[in-house]
Structure 1
Amino acid sequence: MEQFERARLDSYFARISRTFAPRERPASFLITHLLPERPSFVRGIGTSTDLRVVLPKPKSIDPAARRTIEKMTQCDTLTREMFENPDTAVDYLESRAAGEDVVLCDVGGYFAPALDALCDRFSGRILGVVEDTENGHRRYAERDKLPCPVVSVARSPLKDPEDYLVGQSVVFSTEALMRSRGDILHGRNALVLGFGKLGSSIARLLHAKGIRVTVYDIDPVRTTQALSQGFGVARDRDTALHGAGLVLCATGSVSLRGEDFATLRNGAYVATVTSSEDELDLAALPDVYQQTPSADHVTKYQTTGHFFYLLNGGNAVNFLHGASVGPFIFLVQAEILAGIKKLTHGELGHGMHEVGAADRATIAATWLDFFNRNQ
């Protein structure tokens, strides 16, 4: 990022931070992808809150971004396990923010398993959670009762441009990895598992490239949406897996289990839009499969009479090429800051919430001032 671009981005987040300044400045814990542009967003969080620690998503860390953020605040290693055990989770928060009012900024529902214990036993007060992703939204929403407010930006209209461009980056990276082996997308039937925001974006982009696309989703509403947009819809998932030369997993909730891999046709490629532990049950893959590198970030799984290729170890393929969605990501990051402000007002009940339309309009107008180059 050029110096003038970084200065503009810092100015943007400075204005957003002023616009959505909390009444009182709580402590915060931030889980985030550490991509090259991320320090400006982290500075914005640090302006609105007393940022105690950044927990980078482990498979998307830019070393230069991490070094920059380590000069601002503490960076700790993030694992799912640290918040799956309530005792460990409470001890961790006590070590960083004992007795404080705390906002938890999440990407993927990491805090969800220990949230009851954090709200009940932490010596401070959990004001709430701001969640960024659809996968995390579901982790919180599926609970019978939430012990604090959760403001989700996952389904915000400001996230639509990001979702579309993430879909583009997934298709780009998938094709790049296939081409590294001398293969191409064309001539292969593609199966998209999950027709949510990302899955539908991927399906449309593949179709625009002339690829035959079949969709499978357990939600009948999404299935009808896929049909209305001209996609083939699989009723029998196993048959669809067997016929696909490319399988793109976009459910966020274990697309392929151990027994499913044997159903893949020989030579099929498997790619995902999120982390392997969320999308693939690789641990249950039969031991008879041997793994050998086939190209950079392409692993061949082979047993007698069967083989397939897994891209980027089952992790999100687009992070191999920066996962860039341009300045549109700054819309969602600004909405996270607006969500923090809502939590600090203390007026939200326990449950799921969204940022209001007026705040979204303010964010969009501010973003246009800084990033609409066609003005």
Structure 2
Amino acid sequence: MMTARELTDLIEAGERRIGWARRSMPVLTAIAARFADERPLDGLRVAACLHVTAETAVLMGALRAGGAEIALAASNPLSTQDDVAAALGGYGIAVRARAGVDMETYYRHIHQTLDVPPDIVLDDGGDLVNILHTQRSELAVRGGCEATTTGIIRLRQMAAEGALRFPVVAVNDTRTKRMFDNRYGTGQSTLDGIMRATNALLAGRTVVVAGFGFCGRGVAERAKGLGARVIVTEIDPVKGLDAALQGYEVLPMGRAAEVGDVFVTVTGNRDVVRGEHLAAMKDGVILANAGHFDVEIDVRALEALADSVNYGVRPNVDEYVLADGRRLLLLAEGRLVNLTAAEGHPAAVMDMSFSAEALAVAWLAGEADRLPPGVYDVPADIDAEVARLKLAATGIAIDALTAEQEDYLHSWRAGS
């Protein structure tokens, strides 16, 4: 049991962490000030299942400023920053999250966010929406937002099968999210997590990146920039060709497994690194996941291969020793390495993603009752507004079209 003094210290540490993040989130801070004046979310109940980090706290503060009543659970048992969770309670936000909880507690926390029936839900990976459709189907939710590729894949499948019961905005699919959060945020924070966990030198090492979407592209670019030889594995022929034309070696995982030193999965799918791949790997290989769930690396197969496991050889590093003495190093239990071994995306990147999400919530508040169930793109004007605000906050100016240019772009009659 924590003493009053320890709780006070934890809250103060969380407030400092949130304040530091807010310095790099001018767009969301400006939106929070606007929300405080306009109160677009008055009377709205929001249930959120997100990574409980300082950046998320700034988003929660913006929604609270707009009038929303908020309950927040973690979307990953290892990603919660306990000091931030403690500080959020002082903002009038009901937080059900604690670092390192078991899966039973993790799901209980999600259920607790739904005990006061929400109007809007915010999800990160699909667990909250899944529970709403499988275990809490009596709740009449008006709409939601989803912030990850993994979650949107699930939602589109639900919509295709006619199972989705309310409209959901695909926040992950905005240009500002994919270009900056997925590419630059995931790229930097993933390598940050790997280096914090292992203190490994990446220069001269062979880094295998599984998946060449926006996230995988970011990881590959950052690893290449640090002097690594980068191999890409893919199932999509267009993405595989793209990786090859960008100068990366492209191999099937079966061949990459034999030569890689560091493996990073970024696919949103399961069993990307399987037993046969693990069995072929060299001594000292580092295994990291930057996809959403802990299924991309087959941890059960790794456990079956190992003669023994040395847990916690370093913080967030478990060493699996095979029968022939080879050692495979699993980071963050196969969960998100960037949020478990590091602090997640830089706040400057999350400023754009969470600004789009805040504006999408306000849009949903007015539109959800007129929308049939389905997956919806964030309105283009919201995406453009976030980019304009970010440019202004960073002091960057761009050109504007002249009247003649506007006419030319909207006319088919002009010749060459």
Q: Which bracket does the TM-score occupy, shorter chain normalised?
A: 0.7 to 0.9
Do structure 1's residue 245 and structure 2's residue 261 form an aligned pair?
A: yes
Q: How does 1:51-70 map to 2 (within 5 A)?
A: 51-57=69-75, 58-70=77-89
Output the amino acid matched with 2:219: I
**Contact 1:12–1:367 (8 Å) recurs in 2:** no
1:171 aligns with 191
**Which residue identity does 1:214 align to in structure 2?**
I
- Which residue in the other structure is 1:197 paired with? 214
Which residue does the alignment assign to 2:153? 138
CA contact (8 A) 2:189 2:345 kept: yes
Structure 1 counterpart SS, 2:69: strand
Describe the SS at the equivalent of 2:54: coil
The secondary structure found in structure 1 opposite 2:319 is strand
| Alpha carbons of structure 1 residues 240 and 11: separation in structure 2 relative to 1, 3 Å | closer
Instruction: Flag structure 2 segments of 5+ consecutive residues without an equivalent.
Output: 1-15, 398-416
| Aligned equivalent of 2:374, options 325, 343, 351 | 351
Aligned position for 2:229: 212
- Contact kept, 8 Å, 1:112 with 1:139, in 2: the verdict is no
Q: Does 1:326 align with 2:347?
A: yes
SS, match of residue 51 in structure 2: strand
In the alignment, which residue of structure 2 is the partner of 1:223?
240
Asked whether 1:300 is paired with 2:315, we answer no
Provide the aligned C-alpha RMSD in A. 3.1
- Alpha-carbon deviation of 1:93? 6.5
Deviations 1:255-291 (A, max 9, x none): 2234432232222111111455242231343435111
> Shift of the alpha carbon at 1:213?
1.2
Query: For residues 82 and 4 of structure 1, what CA distance do their matches in structure 2 show?
Result: 30
Change in 2 beyond 3 A, CA 1:347/1:310 = same
Tell me how many residue pairs correspond in the alignment.
362
One-letter code aligned to 1:277: D
Q: Which has the larger radius of gyration?
A: 2
Task: After TM superposition, give the deviation of residue 365 of structure 1 in Å.
Answer: 2.9
Question: Which residue in the other structure is 1:46 paired with?
Answer: 64
Segments of structure 1 that go 5 or more residues without pairing to the other structure are none
Flag the 1:294–1:117 CA change in 2: closer, same or farther, 3 A. Answer: closer
Residues 21 and 222 of structure 1, relative CA distance in 2, 3 Å threshold: farther
Establish whether residue 277 from structure 1 lines up as the match of residue 298 from structure 2.
Answer: no
How far apart, CA to CA, are the structure 1 residues paired with 2:21 and 2:223? 32
Change (3 A) 1:49 1:84: same
TM-superposed CA distance for 1:92, in Å, is: 5.0
**Aligned-partner SS, 1:260:** helix
**Conserved? CA contact 1:30–1:55, under 8 Å:** yes
Instruction: Give, in whole Å, the separation in 2 of the partners of 1:114 and 1:307.
Output: 38
Aligned pair 1:372/2:407, yes or no?
no
Which letter does structure 2 place at the counterpart of 1:68? A
Distance 2:70 2:20 in 1: 29
C-alpha separation in 1, matches of 2:106 and 2:195 = 36
Deviations along 1:284-341, whole A, 9 cap, x unmatched? Answer: 4343511114333222111211321112322222232322413221111111122223
TM-score w.r.t. the length of structure 2 is: 0.77
Cα contact 1:36–1:64 (8 A) shared by 2: no
Q: Kindly provide the amino acid, as one letter, of the partner of residue 66 in structure 1.
A: A
Distance (whole Å) between structure 1 residues aligned to residue 313 and residue 105 of structure 2:
34
State the TM-score, normalized to the length of structure 1: 0.85
**Residue identity (%):** 21
Equivalent residues of 1:275, 1:314 under 8 A apart: no
**Shift of residue 152, structure 1, vs aligned partner:** 0.8
Q: Which residue of 1 aligns with 2:274?
A: 257
2: CA distance between counterparts of 1:40 and 1:47?
A: 10
Q: SS state of the match for residue 294, structure 2?
A: helix
Given the superposition, is the C-alpha separation of residues 24 and 43 from structure 1 closer, same or farther in structure 2, using an over 3 Å criterion? closer
- For residues 13-92 of structure 1, the aligned pairs below 5 Å read 13-17=31-35, 22=40, 25-48=43-66, 50-57=68-75, 58-71=77-90, 72-77=92-97
Could you say if the C-alpha distance between residues 295 and 121 of structure 1 is closer, same or farther in structure 2, counting changes exceeding 3 Å?
closer
Query: Which deviates more, 241-250 or 278-287?
Result: 278-287
Distance 1:20 1:112, change over 3 A: farther
1:127 pairs with 2:142 = yes
Amino acid at match of 1:188: R
Give 1:32's aligned amino acid. Answer: L
